[in-house]
Amino acid sequence: MSILTAKVGRGSPQVKRRKPPGTLIGIEAGETWLRIAQHHAQRKAEQWYATGMELPAGAMGGAGKIGRQLRLSARRAGITRGHAVCALSSPAIDIFPLVLPPSGSAPLESRILALAGEQLSYPIRDAVVDFATLPEAMTRTGDGGASVLAFAAPRTLIDAVLQTLDGGGFVVDRIVTPACALAPWIARAAPDARHLLIITGEGATSISVVQAGQVLLERLLPWSLQRLIQRLRSELDLTEPQCRGLLLKNEKLPSGASMPDISPGGSLAHALRDILGPSFQELTREASGCMGYCNSFLQHHTVSSILIGGLMACHLPLAEYLKRELELPVQGIGDFIRLPDWGDSGSASTYATAVCCALWTEEEAA
């Protein structure tokens, strides 16, 4: 059975071991896109394979055509069929902390479901719910109660993702969130430090606070690359691929493209700063709120740095903005997680979440 889960504080992930080792498939899925990574370890050699796929709006969970396209894309990339761990990145996922008072008889799961139902805007029967217990050393309860982080997703979304992946030949053993996929690997580099983790995506961005392999708080926002592209296109006479080049590859303004005179400097850098400034401010406000809210229900602990992964990990203006406004050092996720070197075939940071999902069995064995 596939469930949305972090398994924080509840033991190791229950993924069955298979032969040959190290061939689990890692998937990051949004509502209109997929990223897939797989590695094959044979003796001392290790080879990574990756592919991405954009889906038409509403196609997730559709008939066999999407499944066939997914199988073909994976086969061309050298990815085999098999078992997978999937990180689901969608603003439709609700993640919220709950403080449970002491109770003598009611099972923990039933108490969590009762409280979770009060947080959702739709019936609890239409949700897939799981939870992660938070370490007592980090909580403020002290009265025999329990602090948990609850995860809830619409059942229709989970079913659609599973149906699409099944059509592509992937058997999903577990569904996690982006922060839950990365947190254990970040802890290997900095075991006790608390970090603000920002994973920017195509259709959603995860903001979380992580420490010692634990996800203490996570939010999935509609802040995304697509929204940034739409903002650029509303101000600049550019195509979507050209906007992508400006945001992800630091490309120059295409020859003949017009640029509005929106800043005294008149340069492309000034124009981009002016256009994207409100979006950067929105993300910064959410990040600041996430850190403050975490300290309000857990023991206060200083955040040591901001870690950026995903599509915007290499976007220098965003990193500089976060560093200036939040007064924290900013580092790329590659400084903490050893990512494959794909060269021109794909950005390692773009596939960081899928890579960590593919390494899930190794984390179990550690």
pLDDT digit string (tens) for the chain, length 366 residues: 234 544 433 333 333 333 444 468 999 999 999 999 998 766 566 788 899 999 888 888 776 788 899 999 999 999 998 999 999 999 999 999 888 877 667 788 888 888 899 999 999 999 999 888 887 766 765 556 678 899 999 999 999 999 999 999 999 989 999 999 999 989 888 888 999 999 999 999 999 999 988 899 999 999 999 999 999 888 887 888 888 888 887 656 655 555 554 444 456 677 788 889 999 999 999 999 999 988 887 877 889 999 999 999 888 889 999 999 999 999 988 888 878 876 544 467 889 999 999 988 644 534
pLDDT the model gives residue 143: 58
What is the rounded distance in angstroms from the CA atom of residue 98 to the CA atom of residue 237? Answer: 47
Question: Could you say which DSSP state residue 80 is in?
Answer: P
Q: Are 204 and 222 in contact (CB under 8 A)?
A: yes
At 170, give phi and psi (nearest 5°).
-110, 125
Nearest to 272 by CA among 307, 232, 239, 241: 232
Identify the pLDDT of residue 107.
82
Length, in residues, of the chain: 366
User: What is residue 238's predicted lDDT score, i.e. its pLDDT?
Assistant: 81
Is the torsion defined by CA of 298, 303, 304, 309 positive or negative? positive
Q: Of all helices (H) and strands (E), which one includes residue 200?
A: strand 194-200
Question: Which two tokens mark 201?
Answer: 């995506």
Stated pTM of the model: 0.87
Please, what is the Cα angle at 234 between 233 and 236, to 5 degrees?
A: 55
* pLDDT score at 192: 84
| pLDDT for position 158 | 93
**CB 328 within 8 Å of CB 196:** yes
216 CB contacts (<8 Å, ≥6 apart)?
134, 138, 149, 194, 208, 209, 210, 294, 298
What was the pLDDT predicted at 20? Answer: 41
Q: What's the pLDDT at 19? A: 40
Return the pLDDT at 335.
83
**Angstrom distance (rounded) from CA 352 to CA 365:** 20
Q: Which residues contact 104 (CB under 8 A, 6 or more apart)?
A: none
